[in-house]
Each structure stands twice: as structure tokens, then as C-alpha cells.
Amino acid sequence: VIEELTSALVDLREDDALGLVDAMLAGGTDPLEIIEACRRGVEVIGKRFADGEAFIPELVMAGEIMRSITVKVKPRLKEAAPRAKLATIVVGTVQGDIHDIGKDIVVTMLDIAGFEVIDIGTDVPAAKFVDAARDHGASMIALSCLLTQAIASMKDTVEAVATAGLDGSVNVMVGGAPISALVCGHTGADGWGKDAVAAVELAKTWAEVR
């Protein structure tokens, strides 16, 4: 059934995908397995896009199916989540970039790991990250980007956090396809992660240190 879900996503059969998710949740499948099966589907479409075999509408459609599935799965994930919040973390895709499929996975995973997550969306200017961190008393900020061009916005955001005097109390992590240790160093961020699991691990480390 797990493979069927991945294929339904790859073929963009939304009704089939949602039906499978309902059946799997009813049958007690681990919600994380469902998210992972969908992620593999989106990955296949991403590869087809890179090879010129899929186009923008397919990508948008895949994103929408992924979102509908996340809405269904989230309540189930929350049942298993710890009650006391570990820390508050502001998450968003930086200015100039609207990719949010990966960012949403990071949000979901942090949420179920027990973090209070403030999702401020996509194409977010540096000042908005600073305001959100201050307003919500966050101790961490996670920046996502998929465009090489948007790495500059990450650097700007890290600088804005320092200029606002929050660098002593707020840790910033960066992630997304173009991010590596080298790029992280260039942005001045405190850490980076290659996927949503790494985001949670890093956030947990930071939560314990504070």
C-alpha cells in the first residue's frame, strides 16, 4: 500500500492518494511512513522536472496533493506529540523564494517533535523573521530556500537578526537543496541540515543547550 501511495502521487491521482491515506490511517499505519511515501513521490516528479519530462503545472499539483495529505495526517501525528513544548521556532522560506513543499515538511516534523512552530510562509523579508521571533519569544529561526539566488536573502536575514541584537538569544539554522556546510558558513547561520530529520535533531540539541 505504501508503494501504491507513492505511485498515486507520482501519477497525480489525488482522489486515489487521499483514499489510500484514509485507509492507511484507519488501518493504523505510522503517519510518518505516509509522509515519507509522499516525499518520495514528490522527489520522482522533481527528477522528471529536472529531466524535462514534467512541467510546472505537475509540480504545483504535486504540492497541492502533498498539502491535502499533510492536513489529514497532522492530527494523528499530534496525538503522539509530547505535551510540553521544547522551544519556539520561527520557520519560513526566505525572500525571493516561493518553494514551500520542503519547508512544510520541516514544519510538520518540528511540530510533532514537540516544538511550538510559527510558520510565516514564503518569500519572507528579513525584517519579518526578526519581528516574528521577537513577538513570539522564539529561541530559534529556521530558514528554507531552494533557489541559489535566495542564499543572499538568508545571509541578509542572519545579519538582520544580529543587527536587532537577537543573536545572543536566537539560533538560526538554514536548509534546502542548495545548502551545504560551506553555504551555511557563507550565510553566517549557526547551523544547517540536509533534511527535516536533521532540522529536528539540530533544534533538539539547541533546546537542550539553552
- Contacts with ligand B12 by CB under 6 A lie at 39, 42, 46, 49-50, 56, 59-60, 63, 96-103, 105-106, 142-144, 146-149, 173-178, 193, 195-196, 198-199
The residue (of 49 and 131) whose beta carbon lies closer to ligand B12 is 49
What does the block give as the cell for 23?
485507509
Q: How far is the CB of 67 from ligand B12 (least distance, A)?
A: 8
**Surface-to-core class of residue 135, CB atoms within 10 Å of its CB (0-12 exposed, 13-18 middle, 19+ buried):** exposed
The residue (of 31 and 193) whose beta carbon lies closer to ligand B12 is 193
**CB contact at 8 A, 120 and 132:** yes
Q: How far is the CB of 26 from ligand B12 (least distance, A)?
A: 26
Whether the CA torsion 167, 172, 178, 180 is positive or negative: it is positive
Q: How far is the CB of 48 from ligand B12 (least distance, A)?
A: 8
The residue (of 21 and 146) whose beta carbon lies closer to ligand B12 is 146
Q: How far is the CB of 210 from ligand B12 (least distance, A)?
A: 18
The CA distance from 30 to 163, in Å, is 43
The residue (of 23 and 55) whose beta carbon lies closer to ligand B12 is 55
Q: How far is the CB of 39 from ligand B12 (least distance, A)?
A: 5
What is 165-210 written as a DSSP string?
T-TTT-EEEEESTT--HHHHHHHT-SEEESSHHHHHHHHHHHHHH-
Helix, strand, or coil (residue 67): helix
Which candidate, 130, 125, 105, places its Cα nearest to that of 193?
A: 105
The residue (of 23 and 198) whose beta carbon lies closer to ligand B12 is 198
